[in-house]
């Protein structure tokens, strides 16, 4: 993953039937929680959407999807936008985010995913479309 602590929001992951699911436990020690909000830490919705994007990055790097014709360059993946975002629940320290992304279209230079987050059976965040720009590792010369 090109993302690293303290800005990596994936603790574990698994691929099942073309979907990638990942979890992240909100620890309460994240720096941004100190000011969001003082004495009432709330995990920002924008960070939830970032976390979904990171799950998409992981999909590109580790899924082995048939539509990926070569290895993806980790340093070439960029979050380009997101559409149809809805946030319905506040998340706080101790909550475990279960994030799931489903590929809608994966063809260089763009991969588009649908993503959702659940916490204890509730859906705090959803995105209809999370496009990620990416490129492949250059192929080795033949012969």
What gap in Å lies between CA 72 and CA 64, rounded to an integer?
Answer: 10
Look up tokens 């590109």; give the residue. 60
* Residue 83 dihedral angles phi and psi, to the nearest 5°: -135, 155
CB 97 within 8 A of CB 54: no
Q: Is 39 a catalytic residue?
A: no
Catalytic residue among 3, 36, 39, 88: 36
Q: Which whole-number Å values give the CA distances from 46 to 19, 24, 92, 103, 107, in the listed order?
A: 22, 15, 14, 21, 26
User: What token pair was written down for 55?
Assistant: 């799950």
Q: Report the chain's C-alpha Rg in angstroms.
A: 16
Q: Please list the residues that pair with 106 across neighbouring strands.
A: 111
Catalytic residues: 36
């Amino acid at each position: 993953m090109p993302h690293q602590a303290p800005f990596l929001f994936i603790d574990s992951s698994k691929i099942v039937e073309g979907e990638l699911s990942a979890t992240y436990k909100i620890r309460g020690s994240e720096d941004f929680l100190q000011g969001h909000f003082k004495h009432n830490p709330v995990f920002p919705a924008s960070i939830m959407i970032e976390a979904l994007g990171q799950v998409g990055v992981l999909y590109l790097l580790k899924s082995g999807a048939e539509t990926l014709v070569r290895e993806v360059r980790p340093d070439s993946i960029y979050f380009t936008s997101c559409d149809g975002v809805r946030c319905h629940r506040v998340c706080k320290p101790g909550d475990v985010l279960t994030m799931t992304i489903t590929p809608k279209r994966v063809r260089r230079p763009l991969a588009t995913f649908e993503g959702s987050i659940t916490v204890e059976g509730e859906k705090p965040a959803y995105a209809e479309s999370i496009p990620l720009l990416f490129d492949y590792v250059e192929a080795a010369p033949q012969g």
